[in-house]
Structure 1
């Protein structure tokens, strides 16, 4: 797979690369940051009798591997909802994938879907946190309300919402694209997993919005 062109964005003196595969590479920390992968969602739906292509999970893992080979991060940080629900056969694929990168430090900020026992992650040498301060950023899963942002110990990077931005064309056509949404005190990352939806979010005048296209990320506000 060819990795598309990343867009450079400087925030609080830190250099961030916004990648079309819906990830951020934090240059100074050599950290790859990803939100809402939802591994296991395909298996969860298939188990319920809903027809979903079986290879979709392997596609997300392959994309993640390509990003690691491209950027050579020392740390991989998941902003919650790494695995969609309880244990299923897709976990075996994840174990195999983890074995290919034994030296990579992996950190999971636990999200509302991360209900698998901590011991399963710990057996794969994955660190677990409810939140993590990596100055100047505070890593969370859920976005904070405005009143809580005033008390946060750092600029928040989070996920959970699966943000999208709605674009309209001259012929009244509409499309909602995944996006990176940067506010004055908080940024919400797009969902990494291909088998996830997106919700159009309202942006304020002070927000910086980057829409994700197939092979590039573009600033639209």
Structure 2
């Protein structure tokens, strides 16, 4: 069974991957939000004990998503590097090794708020950096999830998650795709937010409204949730 979940979005096909990536097959583009490479090393340099090997885990997830798709291009929807401290030798070496294995792949970064502080990726990574929005078919690719006239926005920034409750009053938070109304009836809601792709990122609970579509990620499986 394919790990990809096919939906229609703004009149185009879109494929959701349980890593948190989204494929636009008509454009051969895999979208990834909020990788935050080098976040862990940034914290360690401040003396905060945090998990190891987070860059490798995020790159492995990206390789899995690429292997499941026919993507010719990756578009990072902001926050590629976490901070200026993310330009650590080991982080950049891991990124360069991954890039060398995918030399034919087109890479684009739509700059986000963390990119403004971290700076653009090193030129050796061959990543084209641009401001938002990046227009692609029916979509405006952004970091900040704000409406754009005449386009459906796909963005990151919020690290969305949904809370689920059990019979024993336990609570579980799951990362999710949060896709606003694409019918045209609510243009202010024509915004979709991808889950944070990085393996070491926080999450922010969302507030669903009628017309939203939510796809939670649990144990490597995508699960559509009932409408609000």
TM over 0.5: yes
- Alpha-carbon distance in structure 1 between the residues aligned to 2:8 and 2:150: 20
Q: Aligned match of 2:28 in 24, 27, 30?
A: 30
> What TM-score results when the alignment is normalised by the length of structure 1?
0.91
Contact 2:163 2:172 in 1 (8 A): yes
Tell me what 2:82 maps to.
Answer: 84
- Indicate whether 1:103 and 2:108 are aligned: no
- Indicate whether 1:164 and 2:164 are aligned: no
* 37-46 or 10-19, which deviates more: 10-19
- Alpha-carbon distance in structure 1 between the residues aligned to 2:200 and 2:118: 19
C-alpha deviation, 1:124, in angstroms: 2.2
C-alpha deviation, 1:15, in angstroms: 1.2
How many residue pairs get aligned? The number is 213
- Alpha-carbon distance in structure 2 between the residues aligned to 1:79 and 1:117: 15
- Indicate whether 1:139 and 2:136 are aligned: no
Tell me the alpha carbon deviations over residues 151-205 of structure 1, each in whole angstroms, 9 at most, x when there is no partner: 5241000000000111111221111110111112100110001101111110101
Structure 1 SS opposite 2:83? coil
Contact 1:4 1:215 in 2 (8 A): no
RMSD (CA atoms): 1.6
C-alpha deviation, 1:4, in angstroms: 6.9
C-alpha deviation, 1:14, in angstroms: 1.2
- Alpha-carbon distance in structure 2 between the residues aligned to 1:142 and 1:176: 22
Contact 2:25 2:70 in 1 (8 A): no
- Alpha-carbon distance in structure 2 between the residues aligned to 1:37 and 1:28: 24
- Alpha-carbon distance in structure 2 between the residues aligned to 1:208 and 1:28: 21
> What TM-score results when the alignment is normalised by the length of structure 2?
0.88
Structure 1 SS opposite 2:43? helix
Tell me what 2:5 maps to.
Answer: 7
Contact 1:37 1:192 in 2 (8 A): yes
C-alpha deviation, 1:27, in angstroms: 1.4
Tell me the alpha carbon deviations over residues 92-139 of structure 1, each in whole angstroms, 9 at most, x when there is no partner: 211121111111000100011113443x44332211111201020000
Contact 2:11 2:138 in 1 (8 A): no
Contact 1:80 1:159 in 2 (8 A): yes
- Alpha-carbon distance in structure 2 between the residues aligned to 1:13 and 1:81: 28
- Alpha-carbon distance in structure 2 between the residues aligned to 1:57 and 1:126: 17
Contact 1:163 1:198 in 2 (8 A): yes
Gaps of 5+ in 1: none
Tell me what 2:48 maps to.
Answer: 50
Gaps of 5+ in 2: 182-189
> Within 5 Å, which residues of 2 pair with 1:179-194?
179-184=176-181, 185-194=190-199
Contact 2:82 2:118 in 1 (8 A): no
